[in-house]
Amino acid sequence: MQWKWYVYIIECKDNSYYTGMTWRPDLRWIQHLSGLGSKYTHIHAPKKLVYFEEYESIEEARTREQQIKRWSREKKEKLITGEWGKW
């Protein structure tokens, strides 16, 4: 069985964004909520999942995660609201 991979964006309680990837979005969300998901969400506290994309391979997901992480806040918000398409 091949796992699906997910790239996601979390809005934190301070209104910042965290971008990550996982093959288990349900478990990863629980990890973020418990403070074990990442150093960033441990400090900034996750508020809600605002965006995700699904991929067939870890390589595709990793490439997309890194791409989104380099984007400005404005560009991430356009992606979240659907004003910016997947490339």
Domain ranges of the chain: 5-81
Q: Rounded to an integer, what is the distance from CA 39 to the centroid of its chain?
A: 14
Structure tokens at 67: 């791409």
Q: What's residue 2's pLDDT?
A: 79
Q: How many CB atoms sit inside 10 A of residue 41's CB?
A: 22
The radius of gyration of the chain's CA atoms, rounded to the nearest angstrom, is 13
- Per-residue pLDDT 10s for the chain (87 aa) are 678 999 999 999 999 999 999 999 999 999 999 999 999 999 999 999 999 999 999 999 999 999 999 999 999 999 999 997 655
**pTM tops 0.95, yes or no:** no
CATH 1.10.10.10 fits 5-81, yes or no: no
Q: What's residue 67's pLDDT?
A: 97
